[in-house]
Amino acid sequence: MVTAIIAAGGRGGRMGGDRPKQLLQLGGVTILQRSVAVFDRCGQVDEIVLVVPPGLAGDTSLASTPDGTPLRVVPGGARRQDSVARGFDVSSSSAEIIVIHDAARPLCPTEVIIRTIESASRHGAAIAALSALDTVKQRAAGDGQFVGRTLARQSIALAQTPQAFRREVLAEAIRCGRRGVEATDEAVLAERAGHRVAIVEGDPRNIKITTQRDLSIARRLLEETMMTGRIGFGYDVHRLVQGRPLVLGGIRIPYDYGLAGHSDADAVCHAVADAILGAAASGDIGRHFPDTDPRWEGASSIELLRAVVDLVRSRGFVVVNLDVVVVAEHPKIGPHADRMCEAVASAVGIEPEAVSIKGKTNEGMDATGRGEAIATHAVAMVRML
């Protein structure tokens, strides 16, 4: 089991303003929520402990985990190391690896988290870090106006978070800190406790937002990601049966047969929802709305689609456009396509012109070709907020 402790207990005085910097907006989502979302969608993380300023510990709106990772919010301490220690105290005792991350690093790529976890599992402790690219000078003693010596840059690593530890290693590091050792990160405490700390490759995008300039840089990095967009693919198929209404794309279509399913079996909405979730790397509708849950029996799939859009938005994504192909011998999709586009667009929050829905037949082949089922393929593009 892996627990992530997100350290968000500071006030961010160097940022200025009257709000903690982690609550500032970055592309329509708070810095804090973006940092939580990174770990929520990391499949190797089983639990998140969020450490916040004491006055905010009771605010349940600070962050959410749409992917379902258990989240616990606790008040921080006077120093960063005190906050991490409090997070460690409430972490699950079955967690073998503890990952620590600064909430002020909201753009950390998932692969950096995974590298750090895997290295800590092998070596006991690991940090993400960047190699120094510039020549590194150490200031001379005194007022620091002169160079004391030049350091070999190949020996320099610029530490980032996440930092990960086997549970017993971090426990010793925290005990070291509680004995009075001051440290800027837990790796220092682990070193003081006698442990070797491995280094894995960090990422230049994983910047720490400390000043207004850092926030401007983060916004530019986010804009670059937004411009590229992300693509997801969805597919759904349902049998046609008597005694059920036929609902496709959020509208009811006159026909003698309907689609069998736990909800209203709207294959268009299901395929679109899976495409959107796929583009945001957020699982599938079966994970979020399982057919074993009685709450979704007979549910409107257009409403499930709205919930999916809200979910990916909480992770910092919005839908750009959709392309859908409905494979059915009967009924003909063309006469209903415009209304379907309007209904789906309304649910997703985009213009109807950004939604394409078209019908195809399967030329008499397989179950769809024999008129026994209707299948839907969908492609979605999303971008970051």
Domain spans in the chain, listed from the N-terminal domain onward: 2-226, 229-384
- Which amino acid is located at 366 in the chain? D
Record: fold of 2-226? Spore Coat Polysaccharide Biosynthesis Protein SpsA; Chain A (3.90.550)
Length of the chain: 385
Torsion of Cα atoms, 160 then 164 then 168 then 169, to 10°: -30
Backbone angles phi, psi at 52, to 5 degrees: -125, 170
List the chain pLDDT tens, one digit each, 385 residues: 999 999 998 766 666 666 778 888 887 789 999 999 999 988 899 999 999 998 888 888 888 888 789 999 999 988 889 999 999 999 999 999 999 999 999 999 999 999 999 999 999 999 999 998 899 999 988 777 899 999 988 889 999 999 999 999 999 999 998 888 889 899 999 999 999 999 999 999 999 999 899 999 988 888 776 666 789 999 999 999 999 999 999 999 999 999 998 889 999 999 999 999 999 988 898 888 888 888 888 889 999 999 999 888 877 788 999 999 999 999 999 999 999 999 999 999 999 999 999 999 999 899 999 999 999 999 999 987 6
Helix, strand, coil content of the chain in percent (nearest 5): 35, 30, 35
Q: Do domains 2-226 and 229-384 have the same CATH topology?
A: no
Domain 229-384 bears CATH identifier 3.30.1330.50:
yes
Q: What's the CA gap between 281 and 333, in Å, rounded?
A: 30
Beta carbons within 10 angstroms of residue 52's beta carbon: 26
Contacts 24+ apart (CB under 8 A), 166-173: 166/96, 166/97, 166/98, 166/120, 166/121, 166/124, 166/125, 167/95, 167/96, 167/97, 167/98, 169/124, 169/125, 169/193, 169/195, 170/88, 170/98, 170/100, 170/125, 171/88
Helix intervals (H) in the chain: 31-40, 80-90, 110-123, 167-178, 186-192, 212-228, 267-279, 285-288, 301-314, 337-348, 366-369
Torsion angles phi and psi, residue 128, rounded to 5: -85, 140
